[in-house]
Structure 1
């Protein structure tokens, strides 16, 4: 009888949780699903500990893991000298507010001359603004990094367009 009551309570809780997640915004869903999974694991661990199938020390360790993760994150933020100890075990992305070193080489390459810019875009010396923009658009559609090109070519095409438009102005 106790198992039946427990199953009914679990089913009601799952239905309530499903309704709450379904009615939330897409930004909140992921967070709510994660919290529901953590709560579910916590309930399972507590039930196993109460029924004697899991030692209470094991249950305490499983329940403390999320808190320990947050604590280590806070410690590394407030005590930066601890960061090298945890970096090799961390899969987090670097902090966007942290100072970042510039890339070792200039990705745009050497500065362009007017002749080279015209050669890159394939326009004549008497080309107007519209012709330069049209040639740039055709080239960048073919050689954009999202379409199989690379960053270097795209940056050279953009630099050529900027140079020629600045000369016309």
Structure 2
């Protein structure tokens, strides 16, 4: 009975940990959990004198494992080895004076954190509608890039519905502007935007740029601001 309780507790902890991992990292997390579970079973069988059951099971499953193991290792452990030059679980980062945004390439989900101002340190997912509008007014007063970045986030999360409550916004003040972005990018910022590691090749830069434009181009529901930043990142790295 105590063993059953331990197994249940470990399973619940493992499930909670797995759910907390980014979507792009879950395959790797599953492989890690499977390896730990296998080690745990091996230790338990050795301690209880039942190790011979394991060898019997392996002999029975050998033909199946021989087929599946190579593909599992390529898919799971290949991601752990780093694969291409994808960074932080294949994510891109765009920062302004007030905001920091992260885009997950696999899910297309944007998340953000406030770096400066009355709401400093808060995550955008924690804000109410009234707080979003208050933050937007602050960004418009302090930093145009931050305002446009926040508008992009709001469009991606809520569509156009938030604009009905945006009494302070004029017709083109919150429509994404003409797409020009403020301030030259550093190489580090350009790599963050395209989700690449230092040393990325020309081919990797071009592929990352193409992949992101397919997701974030204004014609595909993206924004002029992000499209401009993505183009600037490519020009910075290839210039």
TM-score normalised by the chain length of structure 1: 0.35
Structure with greater proportional strand content: 2
Structure with greater proportional helix content: 1
